[in-house]
Amino acid sequence: MAETQIKQKNSLGFTKSEAETRVVVAMSGGVDSSVCAAMLAKEGYDVIGVTLQLYDHGAAIKKAKACCAGQDIYDAKRVAEEMGFPHYVLDYESNFREKVIEDFADTYLKGSTPIPCVRCNQTVKFVDLLQVARDLGADCMATGHYIKRVEGPNGPELHRAHDGGKDQSYFLFTTTPEQLDFLRFPLGHLDKSETREMAVEMGLNVAAKPDSQDICFVPTGKYTDVIEKIRPHAAQPGDIVHMDGRVLGRHRGVMYYTIGQRRGLGLGDDTGTEPLFVVGIEADKGQVVVGPRSALERDTLWLEEINWLGEGVFGAHLDGQAIRVKVRSTRPPTPAHLKLIGNEMTVVLDEPDIGLSPGQACVFYEDRNDAARTLGGGWITKTR
């Protein structure tokens, strides 16, 4: 009997008791990560909570909903105290500024559209924090993300969450196989409503705390304020050019425009009868290119920094493979296939989409109706 118990895996997949399993939990101060830490502590695991101070929270204290603001650090610490496990705050402000905030600003200035939450997971959280967890002697690191880690025949796989409305696979496509081996996602099988119910049942101070809606370091929700602050004088005026070559007006700087934008172009009513949209941003020329809505349609995507979580290695042998993809976090995966063009592997959408921009992510999923398994993805560099 004792031997059977030793061989039986606990809920985190280790063949030892919960008390002997040390888990570092990344705590943002929100309800999800708080419930993640509290439920593991309640199950008897050796829990250590860690919260990252990612930016100057002198200003952030004024916005309690923002990730890792001063109030959020306090909330995370209170949860740890209530549940009786240690909690540490680590100052990663310089790393976060360099790897996430400055990248965010520079990407916009290049005419692309960044996704800072992915960059944060790709660098600070799943590299720097994960190393801290190892240094603390942890068996694994857990987060409150809504995504599943499933043991497959060839090792752990990344699968979409049970709650499709909260699924965060789009933001975790850069997770490597090595990181996935060490990570755990205890909330992946829950609905968000169940998570809140658990918070209430455990008496957590964050049970009724609203979800953050903004990028954590953009407290006003206006991203251009951040860019202007860290890259003063970077915005250079230039021409607004129709795709047929006509100069229609002037703009304040490419960072104020995004692909697919219609409002705020300031072109008046003398540009023709058809509504105009931003169809391209040529930062090297200082031009914002406009055209009809039909010119926004794209079906072929070139990618860089591809992270492959499927079987084998990513390469030319996958030419023609059917997959499903997400090009926006809020949309379900749609049919596509991989195609070798020249010596580059591209993604071709079965149905054209609009508003796609360099800098956005294209996330891969298995070609099944449920598209459960996440196969990685890459960053869009150009479209056609």
156-183 burial code (b ≥16 CB/10 A, e <16):
bbbbbbbbeebbbbbbbbbbeeebbebb
44 DSSP assignment: T
Query: Which residue has 């100069």 as its token pair?
Result: 247
Among the options 36, 67, 68, 216, which is catalytic?
216
Structure tokens at 306: 């591809």
Catalytic residue among 36, 120, 140, 362: 120
Q: Within a 13 Å sphere around the CA of 61, how many CA atoms are in the beta-carbon half?
A: 5
Our answer to whether residue 216 is catalytic in this structure is yes
Q: How many CB atoms sit inside 10 A of residue 331's CB?
A: 11
86, 41 contact by CB (below 8 A): no
C-alpha 106, offset from chain centre? 18
Q: How many residues are recorded in the chain? A: 384
120 catalytic per annotation: yes
The tokens describing 313, both together, are 């290695």
CA–CA separation, 99 vs 92, rounded Å?
11
CB hemisphere CA count around 375 (13 angstroms): 22
- Locate the DSSP E strands across 208-343: 238-242, 247-251, 277-282, 287-291, 298-308, 322-326, 334-341
Say how far apart CA 146 and CA 375 lie, in whole Å.
16
Looking at the DSSP assignment, which residues form a beta bridge with residue 147?
160
How far apart are the C-alpha atoms of 174 and 168, rounded to whole Å?
12
Token output for 25: 């939990």
Distance CA 113, CA 177 (A): 27
Burial environment of residue 351 by CB neighbours within 10 A (0 to 12, 13 to 18, 19 or more)? exposed
Beta-sheet pairing, 87-91 with 373-383: unpaired
Contact, 185 vs 159, CB < 8 A?
Answer: no
Q: Which helix (H) or strand (E) holds 210?
A: none
Look up tokens 């296939």; give the residue: 337
Catalytic residue ranges: 120, 216
